[in-house]
Every structure is written in structure tokens, then in C-alpha cells.
Amino acid sequence: MKKITSVTNQTIKDILQLKDKAVRKERQEFLLEGQHLILEAFRKGLVLILLGTSEALKHGAIQKHLDEAKEVFEISPSVAEKLSDVVTSQSIFAVCAMKKPAIDLDHNILLLDQLQDPGNLGTLIRSAASFNFKTIIASPNTIGFYNSKVLRSTQGNFFQVNLINEYLMKTINDLKNEDYIILGTSLHQHAKTLEKVKFDDKEKYALILGNENKGISPELLDMIDININVEMNDQVESLNAAIAGSIIMHKIYVEGE
Amino acid sequence: MKKITSVTNQTIKDILQLKDKAVRKERQEFLLEGQHLILEAFRKGLVLILLGTSEALKHGAIQKHLDEAKEVFEISPSVAEKLSDVVTSQSIFAVCAMKKPAIDLDHNILLLDQLQDPGNLGTLIRSAASFNFKTIIASPNTIGFYNSKVLRSTQGNFFQVNLINEYLMKTINDLKNEDYIILGTSLHQHAKTLEKVKFDDKEKYALILGNENKGISPELLDMIDININVEMNDQVESLNAAIAGSIIMHKIYVEGE
């Protein structure tokens, strides 16, 4: 097995560039850290390069998949520290291929309009996976799916949802042609409280969540079929976007699946 | 107004020590950053020392409260940068007194058992404020309420909830004597799906959320009256703690208030 002990090694320099969203997009590759996510990536056949300290590579679950990576490198603890984004690293990393997922038109869909917080996005991916929203389509100016904090916040559920970047205006028109009912959370129009909205398992729903501060873009508001107001007291300005979205997805899962 | 331009000034050194939980506890003081939270702290009469760059102190909303702080310092941008925990700082800070809140026994209560993620705690404070859970009682080994990331994640709703550290065994016994129904989210016992649990506005509820990895401590499990299972598919191991807790608090707010 090839060993890398210097942080200035060219392979490591190339991999570190994947921390930049533009580079990820150009190469269609991303960097994963941590055993849980890497095992998921192996199951999906996405791992190109596996890197770990000698100890990390010895782990039984990782050992089983060693043959499946195109390249495997043993790295020194200092190289692991350089690659890591967390305080307590498991010292195992993988460069993975981005898969080009299709929209699952048999299930409900989550639409994200300029969401900016990586923790919110990761948590929403985990909630979408939990509540059978099999596809998330995010506007191009939403924070990147492959951001390391997003990946961590999914808690290993990153690969369970089809993650797509697309302009939402076009997407919503397409989804309307596929008979999706478009749900929003804007308070500007005639909103119905969540309790009053009954979801039907014969319908398909696409739920739009907006930016944490500005909400849903004005040009999308007219395309919403039902605006939903999650009940809360009026002393708080708004709910966290991931919380509001998850409460609505949960109700759709219970009533509309 | 006194000016501080050096990061080695003794007042600044003393304030920087407040980033340590043990120091906060000993002095019963904490450091706030950002206008939104500081204005809330002024309304509660908690601000001891206000510090800002000359520009930040000129802001109209802050100007109105200048007299209420015991001390005000104009600080240089380099001192502001040293105090700040965020990338884009508003360059306004306050040392505040911790208030000693009482448990509000007229409303529902959230109990946190060893929660560790500051984003989860901040989001849960915001959700508790939204859904009329007026008190949060956290076990002593839960992440500190006054952690800067917790404060930020509350989005200015930090002061709307009574935040208390106490041993949960004792707390739950006390709450049972006050006729609270104890709710949990452990899957180990006979759990009821959330849809099947009907909440009653004549009852008072205390909801326990456990650690992100280990769940609720074994010694507390027997004290739970109703274990709730939030509906989700079985391909995902668990929901995020803040999401599960908020979904349950929302249903209690809608049905039980």
C-alpha cells in the first residue's frame, strides 16, 4: 500500500482543493470524512480514493471494502489532521464521485430556495430521508450539498436522498405538469394553519422552504398552491427552517403516505 | 467614554475568560455578541458592561440603552475581532449577569438529558419559546446554555425561556409531585406512536430528550409515563434530537394548550 507522510504531497494538495465548492463542481468529486459516511459511499459504489491512518484502515468494516476503492493510501497522523474538519477525527477519508441522481417522481419532494445554514441543510436531508421525501432540489445559490458540515449533519443519511441543484422556477413548472401540489411556508399570502391542511395519500407534494432570513423568493410565491402556517405563539418571530420543514414533512408522512 | 485599543488590556483579558464555562459559572456572568441578543438583554436588565466599536455604539437602538449599562467601553476593531466568535461580527458585545430563573409550574417543561450539540440546544430553546414550553431544565452534563453557539442558534429568543441546570432524577420526582405527566422518546419500552398520543389542555407535560447518541439515561427510563415514537421510516436510524423534540412540542402546543 502506498504511504503518504507529507502534507505537501501532490495527491493531498489535490484533495485539499476539494474543500472549495467550485473545484468539487468542476471535478464532480467530493471529500468524505468518517467511517459511517464512507461505508455508505462504498455501498453506493462511489469511492474513488480511500485514505486512512494505518490504525483506521485496519478497522474490520473498512477492511471488507478495501478492494472496491480505485486507490488506497496509508497516511500519517499529520496528513490526517490536515485533511480533517473536526476536532476528534476518525482519521479515515474518501474522495468520492458525485452521482447524477434523477428526480423520483413517485414520491414527495423538498425544494430549497437559497437555504444558507449547513446544519439546517444536513438536518433537512436526514428528515427528508426519514419522512420519504426521496428527492431534494435546491436552487443554485443554496449552500452546497457536499459542504463538510452538511455531510456531518446528515448523520450518515446523505446517500438516501437524491440531491439535485436546479432553478426552482423551472422545477416547479415541471412538477406542476407532473400533478404535484406545491406547498409553501410564506406568511404573506392566505396561509392555512398546518392543523387545517389534510394531506392525501393519492396526491404528490412538493414543499418549498425559503432562506433563513428572507424566506421564499418573491417570484416563486405565485406558484404556491397552499401556504402553510405552522402553529406557534407570536412572541417568537419564526421557527428554524429545518424545524418548520420537518414538522410539515412529518405530518405529510403520517397522513399522506 | 473609556476607550480600549489593546487586546492585552486587563478588562478584555477578564472578559475573554468568560469563554470558559467554569469561569462563567463562578462569576455568574456571560458574554453576548450581536445587537439582537444584546437588546433583549437590556430589556431584561441584565447588561453589566457594554463594549462596541465607535460605529457599533452609534446605532440608534443601542444608543437608547447606553445609560442602562453599568460601564460602556469604546473598543478598537482589533479588540472587537479578538472578542468575536463569528466571521462577520457586528462589533458589539455585552457582559451580562446570569439571572436565576424559577421553574414555571403553570406551563409545560422541556428536560434535557446530556444533550451535547450547541446548535441543537439553541434550536430547542427557540422551539420551546415558540410552543410555550416556558422552562428548560438540563442535566449538569448538558452543554452549557451560555455557550456562544447556543446563544446564536436561539436567534434572539434566549431570554424567553427559563433556563435551569439541575439533576433530572430529583427534578422529575418534584415534577411528578406537581402532577406533571413525564414524556420520553426512548424506544426501549412500550412506545406509542405520536399520532396515537392525545394531549389534553388540562394536563401539564414534561418532555425528556436524551443525548444525541446514547439517548435517555437508563436510570430515568422507569420514571417516564408515556414513551413517544415519532413516526418515520426504518431506513433512518433516528431523527435529530431537536427535530424530534420540536415535532412533539408542536403537537402538544396545538392539542394541549
Question: Which value does ipTM take for this structure?
Answer: 0.90
Query: Around B66, how many Cα atoms within 13 Å sit in the side-chain half-sphere?
Result: 13
Residue A173 contacts B, CB cutoff 8 Å: no
Phi, psi of B125 (to 5 degrees): -60, -45
Task: Look over chain A and give the mean of its residue pLDDT values, rounded to a whole number.
Answer: 94
Give the pLDDT score at A188: 66
Q: How far is CA A63 from CA A20, A44, A60, A72, in A?
A: 30, 17, 5, 11
Q: How many CB pairs under 8 A join A and B?
A: 90
| SS3 readout for chain B | CEEECCCCCHHHHHHHHHHCHHHHHHHCEEEEECHHHHHHHHHCCCEEEEEECHHHHCCHHHHCCHHHCCEEEEECHHHHHHHCCCCCCCCEEEEEECCCCCCCCCCCEEEECCCCCHHHHHHHHHHHHHCCCCEEEECCCCCCCCCHHHHHHCCCCHHHCEEEECCHHHHHHHHHHCCEEEEECCCCCCEEEHHHCCCCCCCEEEEEECECCCECCHHHHCCCCEEEECCCCCCCCCCCHHHHHHHHHHHHHHHHC
Residue with cell 475568560: B17
Do B240 and A160 make contact, defined as CB atoms within 8 angstroms? no
Closest CA to A99 of A147, A150, A151, A164: A164
Give the pLDDT score at B188: 66
How far does the CA of residue A114 sit from the closest CA of chain B (Å)? 18
Parts of chain A with a pLDDT under 50: none
The answer to whether B174 touches B146, Cβ cutoff 8 Å, is: no
Chain A residues with beta carbon closer than 8 angstroms to that of B160: 235-236
B38: Cβ contacts below 8 Å, ≥ 6 apart:
B32, B47, B50, B62, B92, B93, B94
**Domains in chain B: boundaries:** 2-97, 109-256
Do B127 and A242 make contact, defined as CB atoms within 8 angstroms? no
Residue A123 contacts B, CB cutoff 8 Å: yes
- pLDDT > 70: what percent of chain B? 99
Superfamily of domain A2-97: Ribosomal protein L30/S12 (3.30.1330.30)
Do B233 and A130 make contact, defined as CB atoms within 8 angstroms? yes
Chain A residues with beta carbon closer than 8 angstroms to that of B250: 230-232, 247
Do A131 and B240 make contact, defined as CB atoms within 8 angstroms? no
Do B254 and A243 make contact, defined as CB atoms within 8 angstroms? no
Give the pLDDT score at A189: 60
Give the pLDDT score at A256: 78
How far does the CA of residue A230 sit from the closest CA of chain B (Å)? 9
How many residues belong to chain A?
257
Give the pLDDT score at B189: 61
Give the pLDDT score at A196: 94
**What is the rounded distance in angstroms from the CA atom of residue A234 to the CA atom of residue A232?**
7
B99: Cβ contacts below 8 Å, ≥ 6 apart:
B44, B46
Preferred mutation among A130, A198, A254 to probe B, highest tally of B CBs within 10 A = A130
Give the pLDDT score at A86: 85
Q: How far is CA A84 from CA A29, A131, A196, B169, in A?
A: 17, 31, 47, 39
Give the pLDDT score at A200: 95
CATH for A109-256 (3.60.40.10, 3.40.50.2300, 3.40.50.300, 3.40.1280.10): 3.40.1280.10
Residuewise pLDDT in 10s, chain B (257 residues): 899 999 999 999 999 999 998 999 999 999 999 998 999 999 999 999 999 999 999 998 999 999 999 999 999 999 999 999 887 888 999 999 998 889 999 999 999 999 999 999 999 999 999 999 999 999 999 999 999 999 999 988 999 999 999 999 999 999 999 999 999 998 766 799 999 999 999 999 999 999 999 999 999 999 999 999 999 999 898 999 999 999 999 999 999 76
Do B123 and A242 make contact, defined as CB atoms within 8 angstroms? yes
Give the pLDDT score at A156: 85
Element (H, E) at A210: none
pLDDT tens across B31-79, in order?
A: 999 998 999 999 999 999 999 999 999 998 999 999 999 999 999 999 9
Rg of chain A's alpha carbons, rounded to an integer?
20
Nearest chain A residue to B247 by CA distance is A247
